Structure 1
Amino acid sequence: MILSSWLSLLFTLSSLTMATASKLFQGYKKSLPTYSSPSSTSSSSVCNDGEWGIRSLIVPELVENGTTESIVLDCIYCLNEGEDHRIVVKWFLNDDPQPIYQWIPERHSRHASKRLSGRINLNYSIDSANPLTQYRAINIIKPTTDLSGDYSCVVMSPDNGDSKKAKMIVYAPPTKIEFNYTREVKEMPSALRKTRGDSKEDSPLNPSFEELLSSSPSHSSYTQSSTGLLRCDIKGVYPMPEVSIYRIGDENGTNPWPVTVVDTRIEEDKHRHAYNVRKVSLINDATLIKKFGLQPSIFECLVTLQLPNKKVVKRQKIMYTPVVNTFQAKGGQHRLGTTFLITLLTVFSGKLVLTLLGWQ
């Protein structure tokens, strides 16, 4: 009798324990994602507010060329509970109708386009615990400038579809900046020489130096006009930069004196997806001397990449010394070479006073 009562009690406790354990297990099981079928929904992909679609697109805005091993572009979306979850995730670049990446969870299929073959890591998983989101992101290996553009993520199901777009710029500072100059000297008849009349009104009160040299009869006056061509060559830059050439105004770099650009050449390096740019400016030595004197001038080629929320600046400097014009009288009787330096020119009381170094 006693043994029978104990057996009955143990059976009752055992039944209660199994029932409780079963309920606990069922509750725990419901809290876990089911991996048997893509149609199931895990907690991380369900829309709590009932709005199916892409919540955010995470795309790096700026990437410097050749400085990063890999980058991740992520497309965060959510799905409505109870709907068909046979989704397809696609990534597009610019206006190319062919996706650069496609993932179909139901078929366990991932594919990268030929354009990015070998440049997308197909083993990358953003969320390995969720079969509906684990391969939604793309991992691009060693991004380069040719991968700049608008990236679009498209998520589709039999009942819904959504897309978002974001821009990424892979920029490249110049690989090389060459800044130099060449000088050009042209000989031409002096524009200052004039035929004088006999009257005092026709004769200049203070004749110029050119006119003094050309006053000897039977000798023609000539002027050598010196100009400098400043050339700035920028190699391997992306995107297209802003380039300016100017004379540095003072030691602090303020009050720059801009120089007019007379020629611009742009070459697109399609292999490297970059630009080679040349800017040429013209300097007249006479103008330079008149404005700043005979001292050497420091010129700068400034290359600027105007990027979203960022500015990349590179610069190159050169020193340029203007040349004093040379005036000649044909016949060899009067000659002032460019190597002679005029140190003082003073006009006082209608008389011309010259102080010369190295007169021969």
Structure 2
Amino acid sequence: MKYQLCLLFPLVVLLLAAVIIRRLIVPRWVRNGSETPAVLDCEYVYNENDLKLVVKWFFNDGAEPVYQWIPEMGVREAFGVLRQRLDDTFSVSSRDAYSQYRAIRILRPTWELSGKYTCVVTSLAGQDARHQHMTIFVPAKTFSFNYSNSPPPLDRLPRPQSPDLPLSLQCVARGTFPKPVLTLFLLKGGRRRPATEAGLRTFTTATIEDGLFDVALHADAFEGHVSSLADLFECVLEIPYSNYMLTRRMTVAHGGGGRIHETTRAFSKGQGDT
């Protein structure tokens, strides 16, 4: 038994001495086309056992790396989606020859680079890997909230017991990425609640063109019931995995009068924390 422990001990020491990734720094969100580059860093510790050190970055579980750096050979190269997208002068340290080019700096990041980034550091002593997702979001090209007295399609509303006209609310966001979430709220007497809680039926349609989403939220009511439902209607646009949000508010008066209130909250400056 003692002999077996003696054999295992050098192996345990060797495994513990292999390179270890200490921290992976990847922005959670970045605005599409931002002038501020996106820096993805992979901090690791190594020692004299880590011969033939190689740093690789992978995108969306691809089999081939999108970036590779071999310190001992002085070779680094970007591939695939990152080819010609990186700042080839960027380094995190000029003093440490085995950490100098571990990070990647993406210039003018665009939405198609959204996804999972994995850093893999290997050596003859072992390897370590970590991953993180980054979303590069596209704000809505247009965002509108309006209504009409046109009858809703497919007879979505039950037939009224009064001569009230059907009223269709429509909130539309165009040209966004990833697919946005639209939510309708009703404000009355200082209270704000989702339209669905008030019994207002809503549904959402979406189309995609050139990778960008157009999304519309529809809600139907009767004109005579509007004042009892809400003083204000509010549509909120949120882009998942980011801090970007827009709000539009609208009043609808009985008899066809109406007014749009635009309240914009767009928290999209800078980049998200890791």
- Of the three residues 28, 39, 52, the one matched with 1:72 is 39
Counterpart for residue 204 of structure 2 = 264
Amino acid at match of 1:164: R
Contact 1:226 1:323 in 2 (8 A): no
Q: Say whether residues 1:322 and 2:259 are aligned partners.
A: no
SS at match of 1:288: helix
Deviation, 1:98, is: 1.7
Q: Hey, what's the Cα distance between the residues in 1 that align with 2:103 and 2:137?
A: 22
Partner of 1:126: 92
Instruction: Choose between structure 1 and 2 for higher RCO, CA contacts under 8 A separated by at least 6 residues.
Output: 2
Deviation at 1:297, TM superposition (A): 4.6
Unaligned runs of 5+ in 1: 1-48, 193-222, 325-360
Structure-2 separation of matches of 1:165 and 1:90: 12
Out of 271, 276, 285, the residue aligned to residue 214 of structure 2 is 276
Q: After superposition, what is the alpha-carbon deviation per residue over 1:203-227, rounded to whole angstroms, capped at 9, x for unaligned? A: xxxxxxxxxxxxxxxxxxxx74411
Structure 1 position 311, deviation (Å): 4.3
Secondary structure at the aligned position of 1:136 is classed as coil
Local SS of the residue matching 1:126: coil
- Contact 2:18–2:50 (8 Å) recurs in 1: no
Does structure 1 conserve the Cα–Cα contact (< 8 Å) formed by 2:81 and 2:113?
no
Shift of 1:164: 1.1
**Shift, 1:89, TM fit:** 0.9
Which one-letter code corresponds to 1:312 in the other structure? Y
Match of 2:235 in 1: 301
Q: Is the 8 A contact 1:145 1:274 kept in 2?
A: no
| TM-score, normalised by the number of residues in structure 2 | 0.73
Task: State whether residues 90 and 154 of structure 1, in contact with CA within 8 Å, keep that contact through their aligned partners in structure 2.
Answer: yes
Which of 132, 140, 145 in structure 2 is aligned with 1:166?
Answer: 132
Q: Partners in 1 of 2:250 and 2:175 — Cα distance?
A: 21
Alignment of 1:93-108 (within 5 A): 93-108=59-74
Residue 106 of structure 1 aligns to a residue whose secondary structure is helix
1:66 and 1:267 map into 2 onto residues whose CA distance is 23
Q: Does the CA-based 8 Å contact 1:235-1:275 persist in structure 2?
A: yes
For residue 261 of structure 1, report the CA deviation from its aligned partner: 4.3
Q: What residue number does 2:10 align with?
A: none
1:267: Cα distance to partner? 1.8
Counterpart in the other structure of 1:36: none
Match status 1:90 vs 2:59: no
Deviation, 1:119, is 1.0
Report the CA distance between 1:157 and its aligned residue: 1.7
Letter in 1 for 2:205: R
- Inter-CA distance 303–191: structure 2 relative to 1 (3 Å threshold): closer
Q: Paired residue for 1:286, among 207, 220, 224? A: 224
1:51-75 CA-to-partner distances (Å, cap 9, x unmatched) read: 5322211112232333342121111
* Distance in 1, Cα, partners of 2:186 & 2:128: 54
Could you tell me how far 1:123 is from its partner in structure 2? 2.1
Letter in 1 for 2:80: K
Residues 191 and 311 (structure 1), Cα distance of their counterparts in 2 relative to 1, 3 Å cut: closer
How do 1:224-235 residues align onto structure 2 when only pairs under 5 Å count? 224-235=163-174
CA contact (8 A) 2:139 2:175 kept: yes
Q: CA deviation at 1:231?
A: 1.0
Structure 1 residue ranges (4+ consecutive) displaced by more than 4 angstroms after TM superposition: none
Give the one of 54, 57, 60 matched to 2:27.
Answer: 60
- Whether the aligned pair in 2 keeps the contact of 1:185 and 1:225 (CA below 8 Å) is no
3-state SS of paired residue (2:226) = helix
Q: Does 1:180 align with 2:146?
A: yes
Quote the offset at 1:103 in angstroms.
Answer: 0.9
User: How far apart are 1:142 and its partner, in Å?
Assistant: 1.3
Per-residue deviation, 1:130: 2.3
Does the CA contact (< 8 Å) of 1:185 and 1:224 recur in 2?
Answer: no
Task: Mark the runs of 5 or more structure 2 residues left unpaired by the alignment.
Answer: 1-15, 153-158, 257-274
The structure number with the bigger radius of gyration is 1
Alpha-carbon distance in structure 2 between the residues aligned to 1:246 and 1:285: 17
Shift of 1:262: 3.9
Worse overlay, 101-110 or 236-245: 236-245
Question: How far off is 1:232 after superposition?
Answer: 0.9
Q: For residues 175 and 160 of structure 2, what CA distance do their matches in structure 1 show?
A: 45
% same residue: 30
| TM-score (structure 1 length as normaliser) | 0.57
